[in-house]
Every structure is written in structure tokens, then in C-alpha cells.
Amino acid sequence: MVSRVIPVDPFDLVVFGGTGDLAKRKILPGLYIRFLAGQMPAESRIIGAARAELTDEGFRALVAAALSEFVAKDKQDAAVITQFLGRLHYVAIDATGEGGWPQLASLMRTGVVRAFYFSVAPTLFGDLAERLHAHDIADEHSRIVVEKPFGRDLASARALNAVLAEHFHESQIYRIDHYLGKETVQNLMAVRFANILFEPLWNAQYVDHVQITVAETVGVNGRGAYYDKSGAMRDMVQNHMMQLLCLIAMEPPYKFDPDAVRDEKLKVIRALEPVPAEDIVRGQYRGAGRKDGPEAASYLEDCGNPQSRTESYLALKVRVANWRWQGTSFYLRTGKKLRARTSEIAIIFKEAPHSIFGEDEGWKANVLAIRLQPNEGMNLTVMIKEPGPGGMRLTEVPLDMSFAEALGEEGMDIPDAYERLIMDVIRGNQTLFMRGDEVEAAWAWTDPIIEGWEARGDKPRGYDPGSSGPEDALMLLHRDGRRWREIRE
């Protein structure tokens, strides 16, 4: 099964911060792959705009090096790379001053889609928006793409929204959450809304609880000082995990349309209950007990702040106060330096109301697990009879659907989240981007939780690297008679 490639309209994409880490690792390689796939029309151009004084040639050399580092070797086609590099231009620009703007204005063409990717610090968003207008570079058809973090609390998110709204309409603003660009995440919507099997069971009557896990094996690496200002709540829960929760909990939108989908997500966020202190577990990874390398460093050493109370692990019990989910717990956990790298959503269904096979025959609840990484796929556990002559004993087997196996290698040649999302910007499709009111509602729920632990002076619990997180996180479920699914690849 080969995935279809639908070419987009010709475009000029200006990447502010085009020499930065994100541009080199994700944006430019993503664009190259779409070019290779035939999705980016040949007359499209990418214009790097950043502080460094570079010529077009200098920028092309920088991008060539980035492609050779960050594009899979089997996708590196020398002839196509040369053509792609020919589509690149560069303008040295100062977001906060006047330098470079007239040159950028003179480069822009009419009759093509104009998109502006703000891959710079959010403090520069206002300056960029203002100058794009002052120099008549953006018009009412132009689009802007903004990166995370979108604020660090409700007040700063509102301020960012206000600054962008001065020059751009909401329909022109694309707030990226790359989790929404993941194939499996979109599949979650397909599974829920294109199949009749699950919907009748998708509620508090049949779902016992939901677990969402995003586990990493790495620590904060070189980003310790930056990470220490955010922590797991701001870095992962308020945005990515919130989006996953919305896609599980939302009502069916009346159609697959950007505002219809986002309206339903917003209703979920607004229905989230405040989280009491006893339903929150925060942790910081300990050192590995070896002093022979960076692997051994504790969170406090990694972030360079021995007094830090920032969490590198967070587990929460969350409730959605509406008819569908009354009484259902959504357990969220995320952390660094955990046992395995995995992202998974698990819907744990209730037990059958009566077991005709007796209590001890191996009966368990059905679980629908959706793996985002690694090995994207879905797995539904069902009970069958244990083979053999040993009587009517039950055993659990997975109805396993690995996307790689089901769709074949070519079917799995699916775009990376950034590739997909950038093409959606050019198409003008905002379904997989966060709307301003969604982001504000998410912060409105998040702020009191953070303020609560700050006011209480809560200290994160220590946990061992390579473990499943702090002991207290186990208790969060044990006390409800449940247990976390194993963290494994």
C-alpha cells in the first residue's frame, strides 16, 4: 500500500531562525523529504532568515550539511538534493531592528502562498509580526507558524495571543504541537470515529480508566538550565499530553473540520477538574551512583541548580467532568531517565459483569493500547481459552496491529510530524494546530496546579534512573485498586 502524495500549491516559505537547531534537525530535512516525494512544487522557495551574515550559497552549504546529518541515508539522493538546494535563499535579518527587511520584501513573489515559520524564541514573535506588516510582506492570505513553548502560564500565553492578533487573524496562525502531526495520533481519531466497534463502549460505563504514558530514557542532556525553568508539566503535560487526552475524551465532531475538531477539544479542556495535591506525584531522577560520565549525573547536577524543585517526572490523576466521563480516572505520567522510551495510550475496559468461568480462571479486563512510539500500532487484548486439555482456563492474547506489518514497508513510508504539519500550513488546514482559546484553556487548568505545589513548597521525590519513576506514583494507582502498565519498548 503506497501512501498518496498530493502536491500542494506553489509557496514561498520564510523560515525565521533558519540557521537554528530546529530548522536544521526538523524543518529543512522535512521540507527536503516532501520535495523528494514530489509534494513540493518545483517553483516553491524556502527563504532562510536569521541573524548570521550568510549568502544564499553559505545557507545552502549549511542546509546541505544538515541534510547529510539528519536525513536517513537511503533518502539522500544527490541529484534531488542539488535541485532542492536550488530552491533555497537567504536574508540576514534582525527581528528587533530594521536590517534585512527591505531585502526580504523585494524577494517575495505574488501569486504563491506566503508562509512564515517563526522558529525563534517566543520573545521575538511580536517583533516579527509587526515588521512583516510594516514592510508589507504579509497580507491577509499569509500564514504564520509558531513553535512551542506557547507561554509559560495563562498570562504569558494571553500576551502572545494578543501580540499575534494585532497583525494576524486567528485563521492565519498555526500553533505547532508536533504530537498532533504523528500518524498514530491522527489514527486515534480514525479508530474512534470511523469504526462503530468502539464508540458504544467509549464512556464511563465501560471504560474503567485510561493511562497515558510518555516515557523517555534520556535526561535533560545539555538543556538542563532551560528545562529547569519549565519542568514536565510545562514541557509535556500542558501541551502534548493534553492534546492526547482531548483526542480520547472528546465528543465526535460533526465533521473533520478544523474548528469542529478544535471546538470539541476545547470542551474537554474546559471540563477538566482541578487536581488536588494527593493526585499529583512529582519526581527528580537521582544520579546513577557512578561518577564516570554524564550518564551518571542526577537531575540536580544536570540542571546546575542544587536547590531546584523542578520535576523531571510527573504523574497526575485527572478527571473530565461531563456526562461521558463521570467517575473515570485518566492517569497521566511522563518522565526522563525512565526504564524505556515509549509513548502509549491505554484504554482499560471494565471487567465483564459476571464471569461464568469462575473467579480464578485467569480472567482480565480488555485493554486497547495505542502505541505512538516505538513500533506505532494498536493492540487489543482479548480473552481466549488457554489451549490444551487443562479445562476452561482463560488466557489473554493480543489482537496486535503493528502498522508496519499491516501496511507493509511502503505503507509505512509516512511523513514525520513536521513534514506533515508544514504541508498542512501550505494547504491552509488548521485541524492539527492548536487554536488560541485551546492553549489559554490548557494554561487556565495548569496554572493552579503549579501554583498549588509552589505554595505548598512540595519537593519532588527522588527516583532511580532506569526505573518506572518514584514509588509514590505506584501508590497513586494502588490506592484505587489499579496498577500502571509496565513501561517497556
**Smaller CB distance to ligand NAD: residue 236 or 314?**
236
CB 465 within 8 A of CB 337: yes
CB of residue 122 to ligand NAD, shortest distance in Å: 6
Which listed residue (62, 93, 303, 432) binds ligand NAD by CB under 6 A? 93
Q: Which residues form the catalytic set? A: 240
Cβ proximity to ligand NAD, 17 vs 219, nearer residue? 17
Q: CB neighbours of 475 closer than 8 A, spacing ≥ 6?
A: 281
d(CA 17, CA 59): 12
Question: Does 163 sit near ligand NAD (CB under 6 A)?
Answer: no
Task: Please pick, from the candidates 13, 19, 144, 268, the single residue that binds ligand NAD as defined by CB under 6 A.
Answer: 19
Which range binds ligand NAD by CB under 6 A, 75-83, 88-96, 274-282, 467-475? 88-96
Under a CB-based contact definition with an 8 Å cutoff, are residues 109 and 140 in contact? no
- The crossing angle, in degrees rounded to 10, of helices 28-36 and 417-427 is 80
Which residue of 56, 94, 447, 458 would you call a contact of ligand NAD, by CB under 6 A? 94
Phi, psi of 373 (to 5 degrees): -165, 150
Q: How many helices (H) and strands (E) does the chain have?
A: 17, 15
Distance between CA 330 and CA 319 in Å, rounded? 6
**CB contact at 8 A, 323 and 317:** no
- We find the least distance from the C-beta atom of residue 57 to ligand NAD, in angstroms, to be 17
Asked whether position 263 contacts ligand NAD by CB under 6 A, the answer is no
Task: Tell the smallest beta-carbon distance from residue 51 to ligand NAD (Å).
Answer: 4
* Min separation Cβ 416 and ligand NAD, Å: 13
Q: Which residue has the cell 521540507?
A: 31
State which of residues 8, 11, 12, 17 lies at the interface with ligand NAD (CB under 6 A). Answer: 17
From candidates 37, 51, 267, 416, binder to ligand NAD by CB under 6 A: 51
Give start and end residues of each alpha helix (H) in 271-374: 299-303
Distance CA 446, CA 272 (A): 10
Of positions 10, 37, 41, 52, contacts ligand NAD by CB under 6 A: 52
Pick 167 or 339: Cβ nearer ligand NAD: 167
Stretch binding ligand NAD (CB under 6 A), from 15-23, 65-73, 250-258, 477-485: 15-23
Instruction: Classify 209 as helix, strand or coil.
Output: strand
Of 237, 199, 394, nearest to 314 by C-alpha is 237
With CB under 6 A as the rule, give the number of residues binding ligand NAD.
23
Residues at the interface with ligand NAD (CB under 6 A) = 16-23, 50-52, 93-96, 119-122, 124, 147-149
